[in-house]
Chain A
């Protein structure tokens, strides 16, 4: 142990630190709060100038997000009679009727499948590759590791055109599988390197002890290494998911119909008139939820140093 200062900070120091932290948090949260608030505004409130901080909330954005609507002539509207649901009523205010659900739900599910699918694959492949690199004599180990890292040395989008052509030939264009494979390929180098670092930290003696205790190599890996790599696996998974979830460029290029993810879809919500900002904001707000939930669920693992103190060095 080197020398750490153990003097308690003074009340004034705590106040200053607190104000700085809270101030910075507010600053970074403003865009997020703005998006969430816009989702609950009416279109006219959303583009009002000066911007409205106080407004009466409306669910119009969310209704517009989830439905497709069409405008009817006043006499046709009258012929339909009174609106039957609260969302009908909102739409009627604009002389429109709901014709069906929008595409948002499908796009969102595409994002879920592709995001979590590629995260699972990246972490799964990354863990076994990292374990092999960490524990076994792999021929040309250093070169292979460098090669894996080198796939990250240029922006992935630089190879967009070749990938587009390749995918077209292979029939992977606009498929969930194609996007899962693509994001896995991009994330794999990160995941191998991160996880190798974590696995290197786990003393081999644990596995050797398990081997002597009568377990097979795989059981030792599964029962001893994995629980201890949980922290690393959780943080790697979060990094992978964030990338796959937010990726825009490849998604815009390679998906247009069946496999389109939410990021390229959300801007199209704004519609021909270019007025429907609340629906865009609502789409973006909902899009944030899964990744926040995922991060919060894994937070426990991120914070826990489970190997602390078990080995004397």
Chain B
């Protein structure tokens, strides 16, 4: 059981900076997601927590102890590799018992422990098989078995479902989450799949180009993205981003896009120049009376809802509305936004603090 604090860690490979000054805190027992597009430094961050890579600078605390320069074997962590990395010259039982043998545990105790883990994972019947012939799912379970057999302080998993096919991923994801809930061990999980992160995680760190863009609970990140990158990366379809020229200051509660005045949550921060208004598709409503005009380009039917794509003077907008609402392609209509759920971003891409998002963004 462990709390992990990552403080300003930075990793350079020669002239290339893979991770720039990242900080976040993983509480004891959390299922923590490291989320970001390919190449953003997720694996590098995880490997630094594991001790497989030493940070160029910064600190990592596991249970209050600074470990950033300690070898992996002394950190009491388990790592599940994307490619599983099962020892090919050993059978399933040997693979799972390997970490215990290194601790010098007596043989009958090892046997009992392996049997227990195999029971939990449902792999008792394949214990004496070589790992070479196993299916992807079984390999995944063996890799997990090797991780949990030691009761480590925390689990680090690098896209553990990445090598599985789509159908199986979902099932393993559920198994993983259930396993975590049962064992309650801190888990750090790397993924580039925002849906997976939202579904499984207690907390999420969103990274881009080696920078932590946002850190928080999935719901908070979804509702109040800290940057336009997060707004675009999370949610499908992504948040609508409409750029406009304007000025906001403390207490501003409305902005003007073209002719239309749009109500926004009362602002606390201020900015001027090129601004961006962000609104989630489910907070966009078709309303002929509204001043903000857009032309319907397409409608995608999704059962109870539909995604309507519209073209406005400020860019394309997607709206998620009930599928009972009739839409005619080519028509021009008005759009109304839920005032309480709107975010504003400065030209730098950072969200402006409003009364609505201040709670999420000020401590994030």
Contact = CB atoms under 8 A, between A and B. Distances in A.
Interface of A: 203, 205-206, 208-216, 219, 224, 227-228, 306-313
B324 interface: no
Interface of B: 50-52, 71-73, 77-79, 81, 83-89, 98-99, 102-103, 131-133, 136, 139, 146, 150, 163
Contacts of A214: 73, 99, 102-103
Contacts of A208: 52, 72, 79, 81, 85
Given A227-B89, A228-B88, A306-B89, A312 B83 contact: yes
B133 A309 contact: yes
B89 A212 contact: no
Query: Which of B50, B73, B83 neighbours the largest number of chain A CB atoms within 10 Å of its CB?
Result: B73
6 contacts: A203-B83, A208-B81, A210-B87, A212-B51, A212-B72, A213-B73
A209 B83 contact: no
A139 B287 CA distance: 68
Nearest to B156: A212
Nearest to B77: A212
Contacts of A219: 102
A212 B73 contact: yes
A78 B73 CA distance: 83
Given A211-B71, A213-B102, A313-B83, 9 more contacts: A203-B85, A205-B81, A208-B72, A210-B87, A211-B72, A213-B98, A213-B146, A311-B88, A312-B84
A209 B85 contact: yes
Contacts of B71: 211
Nearest to A209: B85
A250 B247 CA distance: 88
Nearest to A213: B99
Contact of B83 (A205, A210, A227, A306): A205
A142 to B, nearest CB: 15
Nearest to A206: B85
A211 B88 contact: no
A211 B156 CA distance: 14
Contacts of B84: 311-312
Nearest to B136: A312
A205 B87 CA distance: 10
Nearest to A310: B88
Contacts of B150: 213
A306 B79 contact: no
